Structure formats: structure tokens, C-alpha cells
A and B are shown apart, each in its own frame.
Chain A
Amino acid sequence: MAPRCDRVTFLAESELTTDHDSSLDCKKVVWDSWRRHADSTPEREAIVHLSTDAEPFRWHWGSLMRAASRAAAWLAEHGVQKGDVCALIVRHNPHFYPLYLGVSSLGALPAVLAYPNARLHPDKFRQGLEGMSRRSGLDQILTERALEPMVTPLVAGEGSTIRNILYPLEVLSLPGSSDHAIAEHAPVSPDEPCLLQHSSGTTGLQKPVVLSHRAVLEHVQRYAEAIGLNAKDRIVSWLPLYHDMGLIAAFYLPLVSGVPLVQLSPMEWVSAPILLLEAISRERATLCWLPNFAYRFMADRIRDEDIDGLRLDSLRLVVNCSEPVRAESHDGFHKRFARYGIKRESFGACYAMAETTFAATQTPPGKEARRLLLDRAALSRGEVRVLPANEFAGGRWCVSSGQPVPGCALRIVDEQRKDFPPNRVGEIAISSVSLFDGYRNYPEKTAEVLADGWYFSGDYGFIHDGDCYVVGRKKDLIIVAGNNVFPEDVEDAVGAVPGVIAGRVVAFGVDDERLETEVLCVIAETDTQTDSEVKTLRLAILQAGMAIDATISRVYLVPPRWLIKSSSGKPARSTNRDRALAELRWS
């Protein structure tokens, strides 16, 4: 029997089988799967790149791999070598994909980073890259000419590991011959690094995760099994690729398995959310991953008059991931778009993180994610007490994130990392065949979260009837519309604003019912008293947030010594958050 890896990478017209009896072929790297698609199905669609200013750009496996070879040859000529960490910082561009594949084929490690938007201060962007260079040993920056003034100083920067700044798309987006002969791709073993992704944030506090070819292939194969991936599937996505959900679920999964990917621009989608539904309708997409806020966002922002001949009946699974899953988000989206054919059983969910490559749990395809109405008071004591669905008062709906994907196991543990029984809320710990080996060059952070093959996630949840429910985070991380925001970053930025007492700032997230995501709030101590000074200070705080690309939604200005300190002498986030919400009005 052929190894299972072949079944995924060779995805033909027949459906994938789901036998479990053979292990992954240990001689494979991701490049092998791409090569095989190009050899066996060169005319099959690989990636459909959508953009509102041009016709869809359709890569087929043959043309994609020829372009990738050309990119690899160009990169090699310009000094990119096996093992180099290559930051890719480019906007939505159809020639990004072969560039990415080209980097990978040289045995270098692609790391997709967010292209800086107008809000982000150039110095902050540069500091982020410097931090990444120190942490990850960044070797090459592959970007656009527009960023040249911002990135050029980095090469000469003290302690910089960056050897080169290249502008590959200027050449690779031109029609050119594919005569650049390229030697066989660099010999790479499955246990060597495949890519670098960041567990959260893009600032100096980012935590780089390096994944091996084996981890990526193992994960993609097993996750494909969990969602019943088959040859009729088409994946549609607007997700950015600097986030694990976009990179693994909506890039590696389709490319390794040979399922076509339809990719939209994140910026265009957020300006015109109808674009995603139009893409689903036109391209007959079957699978989609979305952070929770996107359900409400689309239900609210898409108007009937923009909808023309929409058909969503092809969607068999929409996976809610990367923010806490809310029952009302699913209900609102279904109510709004049911008339266009989306089915209740298509609403799934998963629990995922970069440290386990992607998914730890997934709801079964063809079934709506289960939900429980829980006694809120019991839940706050860490106990799971299920209420009848009609006893909503005092209840909180929790949506299941499903069961562990194959190759993955979950535990719920107490403060001492001892196991809790089912129906007790504790920290979620995960072991997985595709677990990361640790944060790159960050042993102290690694030691905090990784022990005996288990990753301690910092998330709170419980197991009920075999399903995992995630109810909150132990960490102070704030998730605004799927984006992770470190409170430390915001506190540093706001603490530097003249008029704010240095070190006397707390940032935290609060659920926003209207947006169905968290919004960013700041408490800052100040001596300022007059109305006009307070107004000016408030604006300066908002601008300080803008400079690090964080939208501060609420500012609480408080007098000196208002903030409560923790034993470490720093203001305690959760205590002050609760006090502010109870006592203060924000402005």
C-alpha cells in the first residue's frame, strides 16, 4: 500500500481515502508534493488570485512550478542559500506564490510578514524587523521598492544579520523565459526547517516558531483527514499569510493536497466584504476559515442591494477559528445569508495555534458545531453545569471547538499542571505529532510553555462529551478582530506620551457586543486636569496607538496612584480592568 502521504500529495479525481494504517513517508518534503502535482496534473488549477483591478489570475500546477523554478534560479543568483530566513513583505500580488515556492525550493525558510500600512510608524516597522533579525537571524528581505527607504538602513544596523534586500517581483512579474535552468532543489531532509511563522504579533515581542517539513506535512495530512478533504473541494480565503490560519489552513493545506485555492486580498475584503461571498459563489468554493469577528462583520456590512445572484450552497464547511467562538455570530450569519443557500451544518469550528502547526481540535464536517448553555456563576468557579436551553437567564453559550485532530491529544490541567477530570475548567495542554520544537532563539519562553512533549497553551477550557470548549485565556493577550495585540506593546507606547505618568498604564481587552470581538482599552494615570488638556492628551494616546498599528477604542484617564499594583510592583492588568469597568466612564 502506498504511504498515506502520497494519497494527500497525489490527490487525483478520486476522493481521498481515510485509512490510518500507514505512516507518513519519511522521505518527503513539501516541495515533493508540489513537484508531483506539476508532473501528474499540470493543467489542474492550483491558485486563483482575485483582485478587483484585474481579471482573476489562474495559476495551474505546470505554470506555477515553472515560475517557482524561475524564482528559485533568480534568488540563488542573488545570494539566497539553503537555511536562510527570508522575510517576504509584499502586497497582494499574483507573483507572490511562485516566489514563496521558489524560496522553499532552495531550502531557505520563508517567513511572511505584514506589509506596513499607512498607520504604522516607519520606525516601529523597522524596530519590528530589527527585533526579528536579533531573534530569528533574518538573512534576506524580499520586498517591494516602495519600502526601500525604510528597510535599507537595516543592513548596516548594529548586530544586523540581514545580508540582502531584494526586490524580486520587479523581475519575476515580467513575462520572461523560463530558460533559467535550475538544478534540482536543494537536498533537504524532512526534519530540517520548512518555514518560520510567528505565534502572535509582529513587534519586538513576537515569538518565532520554526516548523519542519515533517511537522507541516504530518499536520496537513491529518487535518485533511479531520475535515474530510476531497478532490471536489475548493478553498476560498481572504486571510493574510502572516497568520497561522491563513498560512497553514489556506495555503499549505491546499498546495500540499492539490486542492485549488481561491485567494482574495485581505485589504479589499475588509473594505468590501461582499467580495468573499462573490468569490464563493463564482468559484463554487466548499471550504473557508474565518475568525469570529468576520461573521458579524459580513452580516452587518453587506447590503442587499450589493447582492446579485449569490449562491452559497457549495460551502460544506466554514471553520470559525483564532478567536473565541460565539454562538450568536454563527446564528447572525446564518439568519442573514440562509436564503442564499448556506446550511447550518456548515458552521464548524477549530482550536488552533502556531505552536502545534495549526489545529489541535476540529468539529466534524457535515455537523454544526455543538453548543452548551452553561451556568455562568458555576463557570466562574471553574465548574461546568449545563442548563436547559430555555433557561437563558444566568447562562452563557459555549461553542465546541471539536475533538482532537488525528495525531493530537489534549489535557485540561490545574495550576500545578495536574490533570483535571472532564467538566472542569483548566488550562489546555496539547501534545501533537506536529508540535513545534520551541521558539527560535527564545529558550526562556520555550521553557515556560513546553514540558515533556506538552505545550501549555495559556488558554482556559474544558472537555465535555469528548469535545473541547475554549472559554478564555490565561494570558493577557488581546485579540482584536483576529489580530493578537500584546498589552505590553500598547502600555509602552502610551506610557511614552507626554502627560501620561511613565509606567502607569494598563492595556486590556473588553468584549464588544456590537462587533463580536474584543476592543482595546487603556487606563492611564495623569496629572492633567483642564478639559482642553484632557482632550489633547486623549488624542495623543490614540495617536500613540496608531503608531504601532493598534486602534485604541476606549481611554480611561485616572489620577495618580489610581492603578492597583501587583506584588511585582507593576500595575495588575486584570484587577485594574475590573475596577475600571465597574467604576469609570471611558471617553
Chain B
Amino acid sequence: MISNQLRKVILSQLGLDDWDIRDSTNAGQIPGWDSLSHAMIIAAVEDEFGVRFTTREVLQLANVGQLQELLNRKTG
């Protein structure tokens, strides 16, 4: 389940008002989330939640659900 807070950070980085984001949603399914904006979104998520991801962790993320899980582990 994607938290509202994570959803908001992603949408605000991409300048979107709304978008259906589920666990299985990947970057390619969200307008504007391309390889270039990826690093920017990850940085915004880190700032918002006060966490740091390693390069390896970022490279292994396949969808938004996995980003949420990683966040839960770091903040939990």
C-alpha cells in the first residue's frame, strides 16, 4: 500500500495533480518519471522522510511498492 505522503512527494516532483499509483506501478507508467527525473524523485523522497538510500538499493527498485517497502524498513 502506497502511503499518501509518498504519493504526494512523487506527484509534486512530477508536477502532477493526481495519478493512480499502486504497489505494482513502475516509473514508466507515471507521466514525467523518466530516467532523468528518477534521481530527483529519489532525492526528494529521502529529504521528505529523512532517510538515505544506497546506490545499490536505488538500482534494485522495480516499482513504487518496493520503494515504499524500503522506506518502511528505513523509517520503521
Query: Nearest-CB distance from A73 to chain B (Å)?
Result: 36
A338: Cβ under 8 A from any B Cβ: no
**Are A117 and B28 neighbours in the complex by a CB distance under 8 Å?**
yes
**Are B39 and A301 neighbours in the complex by a CB distance under 8 Å?**
yes
**Are B52 and A119 neighbours in the complex by a CB distance under 8 Å?**
no
**Are A481 and B36 neighbours in the complex by a CB distance under 8 Å?**
yes
Query: Provided the pairs A301-B43, A535-B17 are in contact, do residues A515 and B36 lie with their beta carbons within 8 angstroms?
Result: yes
Binds B, one of A61-69, A144-152, A270-278: A270-278
| Closest chain B residue, CB of each to CB of A543 | B31
**Are B36 and A118 neighbours in the complex by a CB distance under 8 Å?**
no
Query: Provided the pairs A271-B38, A297-B36, A551-B34 are in contact, do residues A118 and B29 lie with their beta carbons within 8 angstroms?
Result: yes
Q: Which residues of A contact B18 (CB under 8 A)?
A: 535
Tell me which residues from 51 to 76 in chain B have a Cβ below 8 Å from any Cβ of chain A: 52, 54-56, 58-59
Per-position binary interface string of chain A over residues 515-547, scored 1 when its CB falls under 8 Å from any chain B CB and 0 otherwise: 100000000000000000001000100110110
**Are A271 and B26 neighbours in the complex by a CB distance under 8 Å?**
no
**Are A305 and B55 neighbours in the complex by a CB distance under 8 Å?**
no
CA distance A273 to B18 in the complex (A): 29
- Main secondary structure on B side of the interface with A: helix
Interface residues on A, range: 20 to 34
Q: Which residues of A contact B16 (CB under 8 A)?
A: 539
Q: Which residues of A contact B5 (CB under 8 A)?
A: none
**Are B32 and A272 neighbours in the complex by a CB distance under 8 Å?**
no
Find B39's partner among A117, A273, A305 (CB 8 Å cutoff): A273
Q: Which residues of A contact B38 (CB under 8 A)?
A: 270-271
- Main secondary structure on A side of the interface with B: helix
B27: Cβ under 8 A from any A Cβ: yes
CA distance A544 to B22 in the complex (A): 21
| Closest chain B residue, CB of each to CB of A265 | B59
CA distance A273 to B55 in the complex (A): 9
Find A306's partner among B29, B32, B34, B55 (CB 8 Å cutoff): B55
Query: Nearest-CB distance from A304 to chain B (Å)?
Result: 11
CA distance A296 to B18 in the complex (A): 30
A267: Cβ under 8 A from any B Cβ: yes
**Are B52 and A305 neighbours in the complex by a CB distance under 8 Å?**
yes
A268: Cβ under 8 A from any B Cβ: yes
If A270-B38, A542-B31 are given as contacts, then 9 extra A-B residue pairs at C-beta distance below 8 Å, sorted by A number, are A267-B35, A270-B39, A271-B39, A272-B55, A515-B36, A539-B31, A542-B32, A552-B31, A553-B32
* A–B Cβ pairs within 8 angstroms, 19 of them: A52-B59, A118-B27, A118-B28, A268-B59, A270-B36, A270-B38, A271-B35, A271-B39, A271-B58, A272-B59, A273-B39, A301-B40, A515-B36, A539-B19, A542-B32, A543-B31, A545-B31, A551-B34, A551-B36
